Amino acid sequence: MKNWEANIRRVTPYTPGEQPREPRMIKLNTNENPYPPSPAVEQAAKELGADRLRLYPDPASSVLTEALAGFYRRKPEEIFVGVGSDDVLAMAFQTFFQSGKPILFPDITYSFYPVWAELFRIPWKSPALDSEFRIVKEDYFGENGGIVFPNPNAPTGIYMELSEVEEILQKNRDVIVIVDEAYVDFAGPSAIELVDRYDNLLVVQTFSKSRSMAGMRIGFAVGNPELIRYLNDVKYSFNSYTMSQAALELGAAAVGDETYFRETLGKIIRVREETKRELSALGFVFPDSRANFIFASHESCPAEELFEALKAEHIYVRHFHGPRIGNYLRITIGTEEQMAALLAFLRDYLKEHSGKRRKTDS
């Protein structure tokens, strides 16, 4: 070991899903939206103009916070924006989880949470999901240094009703509770409606899924103005210009096109429900997802085998290793055509290989 190595901060990083560059692949592995962003975003991109990039962007990100405030009927002071919700969440971990007591998040959840906790030296505990992969709300009623969980949870897709989210808030008035709503637009009511009643609630959302803009990196948080001020203090202590001018203007354009947003959501939800029926018929089991993915396990064919067989066919899904989840695949909802291709392959593969399995069994 070289002497300087002793002074290096070592961390175990988060592993993002693969971003293969194949022209004819079906990409169902990172929960992106299969539809393009609103045509209003394309128009805004044309109008932006390269000369606008000469100047620094507005550090307060006003065009975007104002557009979001209008959409969610909040005040701009109640909104914080960042470079994807990963940036917003990382900033929130640094700002709000300073008590020295362990923060809580589920054992099966977004795997970035333990990475940030370790990076920022925040102690943490992760209560287990129940046997059906549901969050047990009572596990979050004891003393803690703060709480974070996705709703719907990832990778299970299970949505917790707002009444239960509210119970967690009621039992935790002295710490900050972060509800990560990356997938809420596909699911049900947002906890944003609880912000007026709970000054310790921070709701985080993203443009990466429901607004088809993963590549632009836009996320935001909604909370009372005091929480947002604390977040901004940390942001301005780190990087005044997290959001590019392009992200601000294109993001605002996306928020302006509510009709397109609702249409796209409607299509994905319809295809998701159809895919559930088809997967069940093929012998898959899965929690009842309300997100834009399904977390499915086959009754006889191992997930790892299916993952490799799909990949060989240029169909990418996500497979996580780990206790209780190793035999599941997380399948993003694509277009109707993409899902039809996935299901046709699975149908053939399972037919062929269940025959083989029976032969080797006997």
Give whichever of 116 and 230 is closer to ligand PMP, judged by the CB atom. 116
Containing 115, the helix (H) or strand (E) segment is helix 112-119
Residue 232: name the closest of 3, 76, 5, 53 by CA: 76
Q: Identify the residue whose tokens are 């620094």.
A: 56
Shortest reach from residue 300's CB to ligand PMP, in Å: 29
Maximum distance among all Cα pairs of the chain, rounded to whole angstroms: 72
Q: Which is nearer to ligand PMP, 146 or 150 (CB)?
A: 150
Nearer to ligand PMP, 86 or 185 (CB): 86
* Smallest separation (angstroms) from ligand PMP to the CB of 324: 18
CB of 208 to ligand PMP, least distance (A): 3
CB nearer to ligand PMP: pick between 290 and 298? 290
Q: Kindly state the tokens that stand for 119.
A: 């990076």
CB of 8 to ligand PMP, least distance (A): 26
> Please, are residues 278 and 293 in contact by the beta-carbon 8 Å criterion?
no
Report d(CA 279, CA 327) in Å as an integer. 15
- Smaller CB separation from ligand PMP, 84 or 145: 84
Cβ closer to ligand PMP: 79 or 346?
79
Smallest gap from residue 150 Cβ to ligand PMP (A): 4
The footprint of ligand PMP (CB under 6 A) covers 84-86, 110, 150, 154, 180, 182, 206, 208, 214, 219
Instruction: Report the residue number, 113 or 230, with the smaller CB distance to ligand PMP.
Output: 113
CA distances from 14 to 48, 79, 115 (A): 33, 27, 6
| Position of minimal CB gap to ligand PMP | 84
DSSP 272-341: HHHHHHHHHHTTEE-----SSEEEEEESSS-HHHHHHHHHHTTEE-B---STTTTT-EEEE---HHHHHH
The sheet with strand 284-285 has its strands ordered as 284-285, 293-298, 329-332
| Shortest distance, position 348 Cβ to ligand PMP, whole Å | 31
Q: Return d(Cα 35, Cα 281) in angstroms, integer.
A: 27
b/e burial code for range 33-62 (CB count within 10 A of at least 16 → b)? bbeebbebbeebeeebeeeeeeeebeebbe
Q: Which is nearer to ligand PMP, 150 or 251 (CB)?
A: 150
Residue 285, both tokens: 């089991």
